[in-house]
A = this chain, B = another copy of it.
Amino acid sequence: MMIRRLVVSLLSIGAIVTSINVSASANEPIQPIKAVKPDNPDLVELGKMLFFDPRLSKSGFISCNSCHNLSMGGTDNIPTSIGHAWQQGPINSPTVLNASMNLAQFWDGRAADLKAQAGGPIANPGEMASTHELAVEILNSIPQYRAHFEQAFGSDKVDIDRVTTAIAAFEETLVTPGSRFDKWLEGDKKALNKQEQEGYKLFKSSGCSGCHNGPAVGGALYQKFGVYKPYKTKSKIEGRKAVTGKDADLHVFKVPTLRNIELTYPYFHDGAVWTLEEAVDTMGKLQLEREFDKKEIASIVAFLKTLTGEQPDIKLPIMPASTNKTPQPQPF
């Protein structure tokens, strides 16, 4: 970050930038994703265990990974998620990959950061349907978990603040560097073929990058869905209006990341669109008042598929066994 800021400063006074790697992407609306090296690996490891532990749900069946499946682009690849007792969720699960780069969490930005987000689903009756108190009681009853809290935090106290801190620390590591697009940005001009490069040019010239920009190619601002025409949906989700109370914020959403978009179907907050071709067509019509032709759509889709990065290398955590004192799950 410091180097990039410095480069921007230098550019702003007209100095010549000599670093090829930096200059290649300095004028682009998208920046490469950098690998994350965690400060506290014990905290990340604890967070990984918690992310995969279905005991954070009332049923003992649903974990964070159920709807943010790290085998599937950090999503569940269904229109809206399945919650406790198979309740139908109101909205499409956003990917957890690169989510640390979002200006806020959830489609409507109602959580300031990953830590604030992490507590939500645990206690949401339509999702994991537990309570923070029960989740803490369960973890606290397991000496092996307490030992992990001790390692991560310096004492074995378990509370929801620490639980969500650990989950967020793990999620911060879930970035996807190394995409073909990032290689191209960093100077490997053979990393993209002609169609993909044309798609990227069109992505910029037609205005997509006005909202989908930054390292996450999205996540940095809110925008109305349906700028020129309303989006037809059965979903009753209001977007930012539910947070701000303002009518002007009806159907305003956080712009989603386009990183790994090939993996995170179906698309939009209602998960109603299954193909990238239809998603691009819809975005052109509603957001840019532009009818992309078939060839244009194909080239933008080809570009979008170059945004798939290296997926997180996850060793499946082994859960510490419950003890005779651990509250039992209530699946039925």
Contact = CB atoms under 8 A, between A and B. Distances in A.
A171 to B, nearest CB: 15
Interface in A6-61: 52-55, 59-61
A316 B77 contact: no
Contacts of A315: 313-316
A112 interface: no
A328 interface: yes
A78 B52 contact: no
Q: How many copies of this protein are present in the complex?
A: 2
A98 to B, nearest CB: 16
Contacts of A263: 321
A70 interface: yes
A331 interface: yes
A319 B72 contact: yes
A60 B86 contact: no
A64 to B, nearest CB: 12
A274 B324 contact: yes
Contacts of A52: 71
A67 to B, nearest CB: 9
A329 B78 CA distance: 7
A86 B88 contact: no
A17 to B, nearest CB: 36
Given A61-B78, A274-B324, A71 B331 contact: no
A76 interface: yes
A140 interface: no
B71 A265 contact: no
Contact of A86 (B53, B78, B85, B319): B85
